[in-house]
Amino acid sequence: MADIAHTVHVALGDRAYDILIGDGLLDAAGEILAARFPGRRYGIVTDDNVARAQLPRLLASLDAAGLGHSEIVLPAGEATKSWNLLGQAVEGILAARLERGDLVIALGGGVIGDLAGFAAAIARRGMDFVQMPTSLLAQVDSSVGGKTGINSPQGKNLIGAFHQPRLVLADLATLDTLSPRQFAAGYAEVVKYGLIDDEDFFFWLEEHRADIFAGGPARGEAIARCCAHKARVVIADEKEMGVRALLNLGHTFGHALEKDTGYSDRLLHGEGVAVGMVLAHGFSARLGLAPSQDTGRIAAHLKASGLPTTLGEIPGTLGATEALMDAIAQDKKVSRGALTFILTRGIGQAFIEKNVDPGAVAAFIEDMRD
């Protein structure tokens, strides 16, 4: 049996599920699934990178447990979150003759988790699915909470559904195959939890960052603490009508930057979030809400982690401020046309601010280009 180091329970009544965290969980997945979901078949949705690095381990485990399965392999990258490839995933599920009572497995990072979860939500009018996140970003954030979806030319994650997984298996060993850039991008989401409302966690990260990056015991603890934090928020506000919006700290700026860079390798999601969190703290400081030294402290920690923290560090030429503002205006937190931002009064003191002045935001972005 695998080494399950941490278990986090997401208590959502009859849709409750566990997040299992530990080494070797892909190798034990067949045994775990057979015990929890007897008699099911599985449709595995993954990307071509993860198919090479991790899929053989999962297939061997499913075969050893005698579980039937089929595989749908999609291209890697943010551009995969499209209507075309969503359709390919759904048609693959149907072509495999998977029934409504069977399960979809999302094996990959945030892109695959979002797309496969959405495919499960709409195939046969709703199938159960299991998240098997293989990136740090997915293990601490996107695999938990039931947000699924794809991107639109109008903006990021504007098409989708809330559809909770039945189980999350976070195999720490998969993180050893990530590039330093991909790991750092995921770490931005780890830092986010400390900046929202847990300054002690941020201070702990400052002390344990090296151990997390080296794969020491702090890595599993950090992931478990992030998952527990997100579970609490999701239980309180599953459909993001209130406090769950705090989890989007840095994302309003970040998503606009991702759209401007064409959802390409110019700017990974976590890198956009890193820049966005620094901008959110800087904008809060400009409004007199937060101490400016906190912005510098946050930027220093992210920079030491290998992340960009300024607009000038984004490769290539950014679009006009007007284009960035257009993307911000399409953000999911916009209500009746009014801009809503996650601002802060300092480290661990984020809050939701409605009716933010677009002119002030545009002027701030212009100044940050220098």
Is 69 assigned a catalytic role?
A: no
CB 34 within 8 A of CB 64: no
97 belongs to the catalytic site: no
Q: Which of 156, 192, 209, 230 is catalytic?
A: 230
Considering the candidates 40, 69, 147, 281, report the single residue annotated as catalytic. 147
Write down the catalytic residue from 163, 166, 209, 244: 244
Catalytic residue selected from 69, 255, 259, 332 = 255
Q: Is 6 tagged catalytic? A: no
In the set 81, 151, 248, 259, the catalytic residue is: 248
Q: Which of 159, 141, 163 is nearest to 149 (CA)?
A: 159
Asked if 81 and 88 touch (Cβ cutoff 8 Å), the reply is no
Catalytic residue status for 232: no
Q: Which residue has the tokens 């291209």?
A: 75
**Of 156, 157, 189, 332, which one is the catalytic site residue?**
189
From 57, 229, 269, 332, the catalytic residue: 269
| Cβ–Cβ under 8 Å, residues 151 and 78 | yes
Q: Which of 240, 258, 271, 281 is catalytic?
A: 240
DSSP secondary-structure letter at 172?
A: G
* Residue 100 designated active-site: no
- Ranges of beta strands (E only) in the chain are 3-10, 17-23, 42-47, 69-74, 103-108, 128-133, 147-152, 155-162, 167-171, 339-344, 350-356
199 is known as an active-site residue = no
Query: Residues 154, 157, 160, 164: what is their CA dihedral angle, to the nearest 10 degrees?
Result: -170
- With vertex at residue 329, the alpha carbon angle to CA 75 and CA 267, rounded to the nearest 5 degrees, is 35
Check if 189 is active-site: yes
Active site residue 332: no
Catalytic residue among 81, 166, 229, 251: 251
Tell me whether residue 15 is one of the annotated catalytic residues.
no
Active site residue 81: no
List 84, 125, 322, 336, catalytic entry: 125
The residues carrying an active-site annotation are: 125, 147, 189, 230, 240, 244, 248, 251, 255, 269
